[in-house]
């Protein structure tokens, strides 16, 4: 049975959201489940392998990120099943269905690990905001609220990661991360 078939499988439930709508929501949630599992394992990869002068603080931060993602994984999977869906959450399914790029295995320094995680947290955060809008449009305020809860934390964590990188971007005068230019905003 394919993941696509599994992600649209529904069990009987008394939840008053129509089956066709629940199938759409379950597919969105299963996409999030895959990305969340992938991101968690990437945070653990960074946790295990980071080196450098900031080793200890980054080792702890990366483990904390993975722990938070583990909680979100459970919340998302349980929402899938609460809607009568089938949570597709194996490592193989996550790898096949994740929206995130593979984690680089050729890095060593703490700053490189921070940048690699930030480069993955950013599209994950975007996915969450899109899921808020989609599930709200589908009339499922509870799932939209779940996504909002997760989104708030992920945005905060992306800020923590970016904060490690911002000083160098500003000091170098280019205000950029990778090939994207980020100009500091001026508040009036």
Distance CA 116, CA 22 (A): 34
Please provide the DSSP assignment of 95-134 as one string.
HHH-SSPPPPSS--BHHHHHHHHHHHHHHHHHHHHHHHHH
Question: Reduced to 3 states, what is the DSSP secondary structure of residue 180?
Answer: strand
pLDDT at 57: 95
Name residue 109's beta-bridge partners.
51
pLDDT at 187: 45
Distance CA 82, CA 174 (A): 48
Alpha-helix runs per DSSP H in the chain: 3-7, 19-49, 55-82, 91-97, 110-137, 141-171
Q: pTM above the 0.85 mark? A: yes
Distance CA 182, CA 169 (A): 9
pLDDT in tens, the chain (188 residues): 345 677 678 999 999 999 999 999 999 999 999 999 999 999 999 999 999 999 999 999 999 999 999 999 999 999 999 999 999 999 999 999 999 999 999 998 999 999 999 999 999 999 999 999 999 999 999 999 999 999 999 999 999 999 999 977 665 655 555 544 444 444 44
CB 18 within 8 A of CB 111: no
């Amino acid at each position: 049975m394919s993941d696509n078939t599994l992600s649209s499988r529904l069990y009987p439930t008394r939840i008053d959201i129509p089956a066709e709508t629940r199938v759409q929501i379950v597919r969105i949630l299963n996409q999030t489940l895959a990305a969340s599992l992938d991101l968690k394992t990437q945070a653990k990869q960074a946790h295990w392998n980071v080196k450098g002068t900031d080793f200890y603080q980054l080792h702890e931060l990366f483990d904390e990120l993975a722990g938070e993602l583990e909680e979100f994984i459970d919340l998302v999977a349980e929402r899938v099943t609460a809607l009568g869906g089938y949570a597709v959450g194996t490592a193989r399914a996550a790898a096949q269905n994740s929206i995130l790029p593979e984690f680089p295995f050729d890095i060593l320094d703490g700053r490189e690990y921070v940048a690699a995680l930030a480069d993955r947290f950013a599209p994950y955060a975007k996915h969450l905001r899109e899921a808020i809008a989609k599930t709200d449009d589908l009339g499922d305020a509870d799932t939209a609220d779940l996504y909002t809860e997760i989104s708030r934390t992920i945005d905060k964590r992306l800020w923590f990661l970016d904060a490690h990188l911002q000083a160098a971007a500003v000091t170098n005068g280019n205000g950029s991360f990778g090939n994207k230019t980020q100009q500091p905003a001026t508040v009036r």
